[in-house]
Structures are given as C-alpha cells and as structure tokens.
Amino acid sequence: MESVKHDEKPQVKKRIRQRSIAMQLAIALKDAEVAATSKETDEYTIARMRLLQTRLKILSVKEARERNLKFKKIIAENQSLRTENERLRLELEAKPVMKPMTEIEIALQRYSAEKEGRA
C-alpha cells in the first residue's frame, strides 16, 4: 500500500520585494565610492567606473520619473478637489439662505402684522 500525504501543500513561490530606487541609488553610490577610493588599478577599473556611472545615471532618471509621476498624480487630485470645491461653492450660493431675524426685525414684523390687522 502506498502512503499518501494529505498534509502536503503545493510549493508556493515566495514573492521577493524589489529594492526601492532610493535604496538602489544608495548602494550604487556606495559602490562608486569604494571604486573611487580603491588603490588597485587594472584593466577592468575603467570599465567598472563606467558601469557605475551608467547605473547611477539610470537610477537617477528612474527616480526623477517616479517623483514626477507622483507629482502629476497629486496635481490631478488637487485639481479635481478644486473643481469639486468650486461646484459646491456655486451650489451653496444658488440656495437662498435665511438668516436669523434680529429682535428689531421680529418687532417690526409683529408691528406690521398688527397694523394690517387693524386696517
């Protein structure tokens, strides 16, 4: 007889979170600093430096693009809120607002009502 395991779960691939652009930039800067202060010079040093420069440039462009995207989202949200605010303001202005009557206005209203009642 075969022993069958019912408790076996299918293997789920673990999700690996990508490093943030800021973290990648920090690592690239650290690598560039190490390469710049290195006393070893061989035929690959120039290639490594160029690779680091390219990596820094790409990451900084990517970071700027991400920042601009966030900025555009915020501007769009701000504009929609301003539009809604303007619509609500116009809606409020269109409605007649009854202000509370002062004591003098109440007395004048009573007086005019009594005056019309006598006439």
Q: What is the pLDDT of residues 53-105, one digit of tens each?
A: 888 898 889 889 999 999 999 999 999 999 999 999 998 888 877 777 788 88
DSSP state, 48? H
Which two tokens mark 50?
Answer: 């160029």
Comparing C-alpha atoms, which of 30, 62, 35, 61 is closest to residue 47?
Answer: 35
Residue with tokens 């202000």: 99
Q: What is the mean pLDDT of the chain?
A: 83
| Cα–Cα distance for residue pair 107/113, rounded to 1 Å | 10
| pLDDT score for 1 | 47
pTM, 2 dp: 0.51
